[in-house]
Amino acid sequence: MVDDPLHPRGSGFRRAVLRGLGVVLPPLLTIVVLIWAWSTIESYVLRPIELGIRHALVWNMEETYARIPEGAISTGDRRQGGFTYQGTRFVPDPTGRRFLPERVKTLVDDNTDYFGAFSPPPQTANGYWHRYVQYRWMRRLWVVPIFLIVFTTVLFFAGRLFTRGLGRWFVHRFDRTILRIPVVNKVYGSVKQVTDFAFSEREIEFNRVVAIQYPREGIWSLGFVTGNSMVEIAQAAGEPMLSVLMPTSPMPMTGFTVTVRKSEAIDLKLTVDEAIQFIFSCGVVVPPQQRADLAVNARPPGSLQPPPLGADKLGGSESTGSAPQPQN
């Protein structure tokens, strides 16, 4: 059997692998981004708050002694035997320097698997108290749902507070102050542009997606209609004008504004999100209804129509006065 030189065996395998990557990568990358976002929130928000609350509880509840108090009943003659004080049994910690309640040490030692197989045991009385509070009142099964509810509630009220009145003025003053600090203003400004574009409600409402010939005739670019431009420009042009935001690839949150004739803009059957995906991917992600492999006859009226094949030849033959001769 002779292999087809135009379709070697390796090409089929490569195409299958690439198609598999195309199927697997989108959900996989989505999961990776979500895990990264949660890890960031957990590391820089949840854990510091959790640690602070645990420190406060331990500081309020901790009951340890550096020496045997007066009135305590010692167990044995040695210090390592512990003592009983006010009905509570106290035992020494692993260092032998401080005493803690026996119930605390027993509970932590009996549930070492909860803290992880590779987590070292506490070495001090304070460490035992932290593990005790974590196991009794701050388990992750309870902490995470409560944190998500509180965090979402705080974001809600912060959004309501800082988008109107005095809160909005405070945010603007804070932004202006940060943007005056060298080096910091570069990072803060870039991050704020991305977050404002991704999470904030756009102050510029895009009416529709259009295609215009820009930066020169014959080159088509996507843009978002933001308004009807200015009256004086429309009067000078003698027809209605449109203000169009021209986003740039691969970061559509930046761009520039142009004013074009309404008759020169072609409305596209695209949503704003589909257009942003097209621009962000540098034209790789094309909506299904706009793919070039669709039949030409299925294009809606008024859409872009390529010139008929051979039009230049027909024009040339008519200009010279010659016409194709019928065959006998």
122-134 pLDDT, tens per residue? 999 999 999 999 9
Whether pTM exceeds 0.85 = no
Instruction: List the chain domain ranges.
Output: 27-140, 209-294
Of 123-132, 215-224, 315-324, the least confident: 315-324
The CA distance from 223 to 214, in Å, is 10
Burial class (CB in 10 A: 0-12, 13-18, 19+), 12: exposed
Cα 116 to its chain centre, rounded Å, is 30
Q: Which of the two residues, 95 and 313, has the higher pLDDT score? A: 95
Average pLDDT over residues 191-213: 73
Containing 260, the helix (H) or strand (E) segment is strand 255-261
Q: What are 14-40's pLDDT values in tens digits?
A: 888 888 888 888 889 889 989 999 999
Average pLDDT, the chain: 81
Q: What are 231-240's pLDDT values in tens digits?
A: 999 999 899 9
Task: Give me the pLDDT at residue 206, please.
Answer: 66
Q: What are 46-63's pLDDT values in tens digits?
A: 999 999 999 999 999 999
- Residue of 79, 84, 109 whose CA lies nearest to 97: 79
DSSP-derived secondary structure for 96-140: SS-EEEHHHHHHHHHTGGGG-TTPPPP-SHHHHHHHHHHHHH--H
Average pLDDT over residues 158-172: 83
Which residues is 220 bridged to in the sheet? 213
Average pLDDT over residues 57-78: 85
Average pLDDT over residues 75-97: 83
- Residue of 177, 260, 163, 182 whose CA lies nearest to 221: 260
Q: Which of the two residues, 303 and 277, has the higher pLDDT score? A: 277
- Residue of 86, 123, 88, 81 whose CA lies nearest to 103: 88
List alpha helices for 217-271, DSSP H. 231-237
